[in-house]
Chain A
Amino acid sequence: DAGVIQSPRHEVTEMGQEVTLRCKPISGHNSLFWYRQTMMRGLELLIYFNNNVPIDDSGMPEDRFSAKMPNASFSTLKIQPSEPRDSAVYFCASRTGDTQYFGPGTRLTVL
């Protein structure tokens, strides 16, 4: 299995632009999680899905952030408009049983 796949691995954009991060979970995993990692706040859970349905989005920082999971093999995290304080590494993870497996992350830089 290729593991959790995320794209792009690096994204540099200007403030105000729309950013879309993508994730392909491990096949057969029915839960998907989006995390953000920063030096100041560490790892934060943004949102998670069970069977493609958003269950808890209380970690989404503000309305500029949205996430979708149109099917079991794909999810997106969108930031519109992006701001410099959104710069971070965004991780996607999928889960089987009680164990989460993480993707390599997308390093986002908003100038």
Chain B
Amino acid sequence: GEDVEQSLFLSVREGDSSVINCTYTDSSSTYLYWYKQEPGAGLQLLTYIFSNMDMKQDQRLTVLLNKKDKHLSLRIADTQTGDSAIYFCAVTEGANNLFFGTGTRLTVIP
């Protein structure tokens, strides 16, 4: 199966940019996703990128995909305290399976 890895923790100061990184092993992944999980809540889809794209921007969120290195990143500009959560990278394997990373806990320091 797919192996998806993320660093476990990230701390940033309010107003700074956050960059959350993810590496994966299956180069045939079609879609790559970022989900956000707030305490006690389910996973909220933040954004996704199709594998033939290098970059996708959506307001404060920028997703970068390096297919050669199998590296995906999520940049959050002007990080706010409300952005504190766990962020999961997820990639598709085949038509249906979605593999998740371990999640990165982002802490925003006021």
B45 close to chain A: CB less than 8 A: yes
Determine which residue in A33, A98, A101 has the highest number of CB atoms from chain B within 10 A of its CB, and name it: A98
Mask: chain A, 14-56; 1 = CB below 8 Å from B; 0 = not: 0000000000000000010100000000110100101000011
Q: Give the nearest-CB partner of A4 in chain B.
A: B42
Complex Cα–Cα for A102 and B86 (A): 15
Q: How far is the CB of B14 from chain A (nearest CB, A)?
A: 27
Q: Which residues of chain A have a CB within 8 Å of any CB of chain B?
A: 4, 31, 33, 42-43, 45, 48, 50, 55-56, 91, 93, 98-105
Verify B35–A102 contact, CB threshold 8 A. Answer: yes
Q: How far is the CB of A13 from chain B (nearest CB, A)?
A: 20
Verify B97–A56 contact, CB threshold 8 A. Answer: yes
Q: Which 6 A-B pairs have the closest CB atoms?
A: A43-B100, A102-B43, A102-B42, A104-B42, A98-B31, A105-B42
Q: Which residues of chain B have a CB within 8 Å of any CB of chain A?
A: 30-31, 33, 35, 41-45, 48, 88, 92, 96-103
Verify B96–A31 contact, CB threshold 8 A. Answer: yes
The secondary structure that dominates the A interface is: strand
Chain B residues with Cβ under 8 A from A48's Cβ?
96
Chain B residues with Cβ under 8 A from A43's Cβ?
88, 100, 103
Verify A98–B92 contact, CB threshold 8 A. Answer: yes
Task: Assess A55 versus B42: contact at CB under 8 Å? Given A42-B102, A43-B88.
Answer: no
Given contacts A42-B103, A43-B88, A91-B43, 7 further A-B contacts (CB under 8 A): A4-B42, A31-B96, A45-B98, A48-B96, A91-B42, A100-B45, A104-B41
Chain B residues with Cβ under 8 A from A4's Cβ?
42
Pick the contact of A55 from B35, B96, B98 — CB < 8 Å?
Answer: B96
Task: Give me 16 A-to-B residue pairs in the complex whose CB atoms sit less than 8 angstroms apart, sorted by A's number.
Answer: A42-B101, A42-B102, A43-B88, A43-B100, A45-B97, A56-B96, A98-B31, A98-B92, A100-B45, A100-B98, A101-B45, A102-B45, A103-B42, A104-B41, A105-B41, A105-B42
Chain A residues with Cβ under 8 A from B43's Cβ?
91, 93, 102
Complex Cα–Cα for A105 and B103 (A): 17
Q: Give the nearest-CB partner of A104 in chain B.
A: B42
